[in-house]
Amino acid sequence: MSLDNIIEFKGTKKGIFVHINSKTDYELIKMKMMEKLDKSSSFFKGANMLEIQSGIITNEEKRELENLISEKYDINIIKEERVDTTEEAFFSGIDEGATKFIHKTIRSGQRLYYEGNIVIFGDVNPGAEIIANGNIVVMGNLRGIAHAGKNGNVNACVAAFNITSTQLRIAEFIARSPDENTLHSSRPEIAKINEGVLCIEPY
């Protein structure tokens, strides 16, 4: 991934989300964020920033970035408890909404994020990471990390020909890798939330 794409700003009606897309050094992340904000300081001045989305940096590092953004660039940080978490705030198009189609195998070290649904025509190898606000469908073997319903939608699902993920997540519900001796279904499998439990069953 290009260093220029480490930091991405996503605008919504409610404010701006910041996506950190690369597992790289924190000081480099901070430098690239400041570079992007310096280039467009007048555009961002007075804006609302909703969340820094990253599974890479620590909470302490995230707070440091928030303080830097707020104090140096006059950007309002809207804390999570103030963000609207009603159903309208979620990606609700899991049945017919925006979908990204990927025609290749996702290899170890690759990270893919999309705000809608993701459909992959290939495998997801161990060490790869797939994140979507909607559903994740893999027309192959799912062996990497998958997180559907990233923005909290518990109605999202993960489906694949075979699910052996090192970590499977829907909204805030997490399932770990099954025991090596576990028998897997010979049919496609689907993971979804059922009565507050993340379940994987034959489709």
Is residue 116 domain-shared with residue 58, that is, in the same domain? no
Alpha-carbon distances, residue 81 vs 50, 51, 57, 78, 164 (angstroms)? 10, 11, 20, 8, 34
Candidates 175, 119, 123, 173; CA nearest to 149 is 173
How long, in residues, is the chain?
A: 203
Q: Measure the CA–CA gap between 92 and 88, rounded to whole angstroms.
A: 7
Considering 53, 82, 111, which residue would you say is the last residue of a domain? 82
Domain total of the chain? 2
Across the strands, what pairs with 76? 48
Q: Measure the CA–CA gap between 166 and 154, rounded to whole angstroms.
A: 20
pLDDT at 63 over 90: no
Q: Band the pLDDT of 4: cuts 50, 70, 90.
A: low
Q: Hey, what amino acid is at 185?
A: S
* In 21-58, beta strands by DSSP E: 48-53
Considering 48, 63, 82, which residue would you say is the last residue of a domain? 82
Average pLDDT, integer, range 195-202: 87
Q: At what angle do helices 26-39 and 59-73 cross, to 10 degrees?
A: 20
pLDDT at 147 over 60: yes
Average pLDDT, integer, range 109-125: 93
Domain containing 110 equals: 88-202
pLDDT at 110 over 90: yes
**Residue 117, φ and ψ in degrees, nearest 5:** -90, 155
Q: Measure the CA–CA gap between 165 and 158, rounded to whole angstroms.
A: 11
Q: For residue 180, what is the domain's CATH number? A: 2.160.20.70
* Residue 66 CB partners (closer than 8 Å, separation 6+): 49, 52, 77
Candidates 111, 154, 153, 148; CA nearest to 132 is 148
Q: Band the pLDDT of 91: cuts 50, 70, 90.
A: low
Is residue 188 domain-shared with residue 129, that is, in the same domain? yes
Considering 51, 82, 113, which residue would you say is the last residue of a domain? 82
Q: Measure the CA–CA gap between 192 and 131, rounded to whole angstroms.
A: 15
Is residue 104 domain-shared with residue 32, that is, in the same domain? no
